[in-house]
Amino acid sequence: MRQRNKPWAKDRMNEYPQYLIANPEQHKGKWFEVFEKNQPLHIEIGTGKGRFITGMAKANPDINYIGIELIESIIVCALDKLIEEELPNLKLLNVNAAELEKYFAKGDVDRVYLNFSDPWPKVRHEKRRLTFDSFLRVYENILVDEGEIHFKTDNQGLFEYSLTSFSKYGLLLTYVSLDLHQSDFIGNIMTEYEEKFSNKGSRIYRSEVKYRK
Ligand code: SAM
């Protein structure tokens, strides 16, 4: 996601510690403490400007959500949405997904969402793809047993790569759509990228997989 540098982003983030978690390692194993209600936790990795995660939090008050985004200049846009909406079941985290085991214990998370992850098409960048084997291991180590990954993208190459990666890892495929917007799937919440690419005529691929016991 292209974004101009925002030198003021850090200061803005520091102003809202109630929304943007500053010391995530302190909450490892007890994330329920940062929310009003102790209920299942779903995280989105690469949350971007936050349209999906704020929409999900609004639509599902009985689920807690955390939007995780690496880039400060981008996550401040999600922060602005959260300040406006004041959702008690949504927090944001500015960390690298590769390091999630530092901040989450096994079983802290019930579901992982990956939406329009960067495709990194060059073979030498395979390890950066959020559906690469090492990331699948990280997710397994923070998810509950039989935890789920819900993934959508407009990128056919990344989708095919990811289905193979899930399968090689031993994940169970429980849902697949090769054209989400023409399917009977109910309750889809669009991301910023999803709107942009579907307006250009791209079809959207979606899958759900779960870890085996
Ligand atoms: N999900 C949003 C959407 O669909 O509109 C944003 C999609 S954008 C192509 C991918 C986002 O993932 C970028 O904002 C990028 O900074 C973030 N990202 C990529 N690798 C990441 C990582 N290892 N940890 C956290 N965020 C990451």
Instruction: Say what the pTM is.
Output: 0.97
Instruction: For ligand 1, say whether the CB of 77 is within 6 Å of any of its atoms.
Output: no
- Confidence class of residue 102 from pLDDT cuts 50, 70 and 90? very high
How far apart (Å, rounded) are the C-alpha atoms in residues 211 and 114? 15
Candidates 142, 79, 104; CA nearest to 24 is 104
Instruction: For ligand 1, say whether the CB of 191 is within 6 Å of any of its atoms.
Output: yes
What pLDDT shows up at residue 19? 97
Domains in the chain: boundaries: 31-210
**Distance from the alpha carbon of residue 48 to the mean position of ligand 1, in angstroms:** 5
Candidates 207, 199, 110, 74; CA nearest to 153 is 207
Q: What is the ipTM of this complex?
A: 0.99
- Confidence class of residue 2 from pLDDT cuts 50, 70 and 90? low
62 included as an active-site residue: no
Tokens read off for 42 = 């779903």
* SS3 label, residue 158: helix
- Confidence class of residue 110 from pLDDT cuts 50, 70 and 90? very high
How far apart (Å, rounded) are the C-alpha atoms in residues 152 and 161? 13
What pLDDT shows up at residue 55? 98
Total residue count of the chain as it appears in this document:
213
How far apart (Å, rounded) are the C-alpha atoms in residues 207 and 41? 20
31-210 has which CATH code? 3.40.50.150
**Distance from the alpha carbon of residue 32 to the mean position of ligand 1, in angstroms:** 25
Asked if the model's pLDDT at residue 1 lies above 70, the reply is no
180 within 8 A of 206, measured Cβ to Cβ: yes
- 57-101: pLDDT as tens digits: 999 999 999 999 999 999 999 999 999 998 999 999 999 999 999
* SS3 label, residue 191: coil
Q: What single string gives the DSSP state of each residue in 100-130? A: GGGT--TTSEEEEEEES-----SGGGGGGST
Instruction: For ligand 1, say whether the CB of 135 is within 6 Å of any of its atoms.
Output: no
Asked if the model's pLDDT at residue 3 lies above 80, the reply is no
How far apart (Å, rounded) are the C-alpha atoms in residues 72 and 35? 23
